[in-house]
Amino acid sequence: MRIPLFAANWKMNQSIGEISPYIEALSSRLQKFPGQLGKNYQVVIAPPATHLQAMGAVIGGKGLELGAQNCGHTASGAFTGEISPKTLQEMQCNWVIVGHSERRHIYLETDAMIQGRLRGAFENQLKPIFCVGETLAERKAGKTESVVEGQLLVLKELKNHLTNQDWVIAYEPVWAIGTGENASPQQAQEVHAFIRKWAKSHLSGPVAEKTRILYGGSVKPDNCADLKRQPDIDGFLVGGASLQADSFGAIVENSLKIRS
């Protein structure tokens, strides 16, 4: 049973002062929903690393979970500017986004680096939200599946972790991120089904069955229900629309009406 997961990726947005009102508004909205937060569905907030401590202090006891937006490949060492996965764990941060397209395309993180970060996360008991997705040029050239498969290959050496620990995949087509143009439910479902099939043949049947696959890219309150109806879409990784508690809460609410 894959319970829905909704993750807010704040990217490099919001001030520390905005955390408290946001969490108050979101959590009072979520309390009105049917189903129990943390049991029937999960909500992760990934603020900038500079906000994690303040966010951690505010979300305690509310059922919301804390996520980071990236982590280093190892617990400690001479790696200026990196964020230790061990320290994230000490800060009650359970989740970490790895391989986001902005890290791949703006900061030129390679598959090898992303694999290291995934390993660092797993070895420090963090749950990765592992992102994959093709650019518009790659889609137009008919390369969506081969690009996504190339990105998935890093998982092959992490099989033990993937079997024994919790983690999720996020399919985020680069052309849909921050553009207002989401993948259609059919386009998203096709890639999600492909990812699950790949996981079944290259990882294992049980891993493919239990692993949640989130969709990300211009998810909004008015397009999430149709996306959520797709059998292989298990939740969302939301950027812009997660910055307001109202719109993120509406995404969770409208999605939960579809399937829990």
- Spatial separation of the C-alpha atoms in residues 198 and 181, rounded to whole Å: 26
Residue with tokens 């990217």: 11
Q: Which is nearer to ligand 13P, 124 or 218 (CB)?
A: 218
- Which H or E run includes 223? none
Q: Which listed residue (219, 227, 251, 256) binds ligand 13P by CB under 6 A?
A: 219
Choose the stretch contacting ligand 13P; rule: CB under 6 A; options: 47-55, 85-93, 159-167, 216-224.
216-224
Residue 56 in the binding site for ligand 13P (CB under 6 A): no
- Which H or E run includes 19? helix 19-31
The token duo for 122 is 């797993």
Q: Identify residues 144-183 at the interface with ligand 13P (CB under 6 A).
A: 172, 177-178
Residue 134 in the binding site for ligand 13P (CB under 6 A): no
The token duo for 183 is 């993948």
Residue of closest CB approach to ligand 13P: 239
- Spatial separation of the C-alpha atoms in residues 162 and 250, rounded to whole Å: 31
Instruction: Tell me the HSE value of 175 on the side-chain side, using a 13 A CA sphere.
Output: 12
Residue 132 in the binding site for ligand 13P (CB under 6 A): no
What x-and-dash track marks residues 9-48 binding ligand 13P by CB under 6 A? x---------------------------------------
**Catalytic (active site) residue 100:** yes
The one catalytic residue in 65, 102, 138, 172 is 172
Burial 189-219 (b: 16+ CB within 10 A, else e): bbbbebbbebbeeebeeebbeebbbbbbbbb
Q: Which is nearer to ligand 13P, 195 or 203 (CB)?
A: 195
CA of 235: how far to CAs of 56, 79, 93, 101, 186, in Å?
23, 34, 20, 18, 15
Residue 98 in the binding site for ligand 13P (CB under 6 A): no
Which positions touch ligand 13P (CB under 6 A)? 9, 100, 172, 177-178, 216-219, 237-241
Active-site residue set: 100, 172
